[in-house]
Structure formats: C-alpha cells, structure tokens
C-alpha cells in the first residue's frame, strides 16, 4: 500500500491541512498515514468545559483517504451550504469525506472548507 495512489492523496491532503496549524491549532498526530489537528485551547461546548477542540484529520483507510472535518458536524447549517457540491457528495456519515481521487479543484474545495471552518472556530473563540 506504500506506493498506492492513496498514499499520494494522503500526503497532499496532509500538506493542505498543515497550513492550518497556526494559533492554538496544533498537530496532535503527525504520521505518514494520519494527521490530526486540534485547537489546544480551553472551550465551552454545549455548556461543558473542554481542554481542546478537534478540527480536522486526514487518515489513510483501505479504499479511500478520510478527510475528517469537525466543523461540518458542529455547525452543519453554516458549513454544509458553503461546501462545493463535488466535495459534499463525498460526505459519508456526519463528518468524514471519502477522497479517492484528488485534482486541483478538489484540493481547492477542501482548502475553502478548511478556511471557512477555521474562521467559524475563530468566531466561536475555539481557536486563538
């Protein structure tokens, strides 16, 4: 699997996500097949204090690369309408997008989603 097209997709998406490792957002897991970003800031979520807030991940799976994007779960009414239809049709479940091919347009759609989610988290003071 090391030489599969999914390996290249995972690496490219990891590079896209790495641009959002700023402010209170840090990589909690940084491995060749997995990259997790969390805001390392104390937040209040649903009236409960939390030590951190999950933002996004890229995880290599058997038949796809999972792009896990928490803002689409925490604020679906805000994020979903702003997602490009090509990205939205890859949403499986509540927050996981199954990426099996990656071109310049899809990378742009993912980057735009990340920018929207990052700004939303900043507005909610979940990122500083």
Give the span between the Cα atoms of 5 and 12, in whole angstroms: 11
Give the span between the Cα atoms of 128 and 10, in whole angstroms: 27
Q: Is 52 exposed, middle or buried (0-12, 13-18, 19+ CB in 10 A)?
A: middle
128 domain residue, yes or no: no
pLDDT of residue 98: 97
Show the domain range for 48: 5-123
pTM of the predicted model as reported, rounded to 2 decimal places: 0.93
Cβ(83)–Cβ(76) under 8 Å?
no
E strand or H helix that includes residue 76: helix 76-79
E strand or H helix that includes residue 17: helix 5-18
Give the span between the Cα atoms of 49 and 62, in whole angstroms: 35
pLDDT of residue 1: 46
pLDDT of residue 2: 53
**Residue 110 in this model has a pLDDT that exceeds 80:** yes
Q: 10 Å Cβ neighbour count for 88? A: 16
11 domain residue, yes or no: yes
Q: How many domains does the chain have?
A: 1
Average pLDDT, the chain: 94
In CATH, what number is assigned to the domain containing residue 23?
Answer: 3.90.1150
């Amino acid at each position: 699997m090391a030489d599969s097209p999914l390996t290249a997709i995972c690496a490219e998406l990891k590079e896209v996500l790495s641009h959002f490792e700023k402010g209170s957002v840090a990589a909690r897991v940084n491995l060749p097949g997995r990259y997790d970003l969390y805001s390392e800031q104390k937040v209040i979520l649903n009236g409960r204090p939390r030590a951190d807030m999950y933002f996004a991940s890229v995880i290599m799976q058997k038949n796809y690369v999972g792009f896990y994007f928490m803002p689409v779960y925490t604020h679906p009414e805000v994020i979903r309408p702003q997602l490009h239809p090509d990205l939205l049709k890859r949403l499986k479940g509540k927050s996981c997008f199954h990426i099996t091919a990656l071109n310049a347009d899809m990378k742009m759609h993912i980057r735009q989603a990340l920018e929207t989610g990052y700004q939303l988290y900043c507005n909610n003071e979940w990122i500083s």
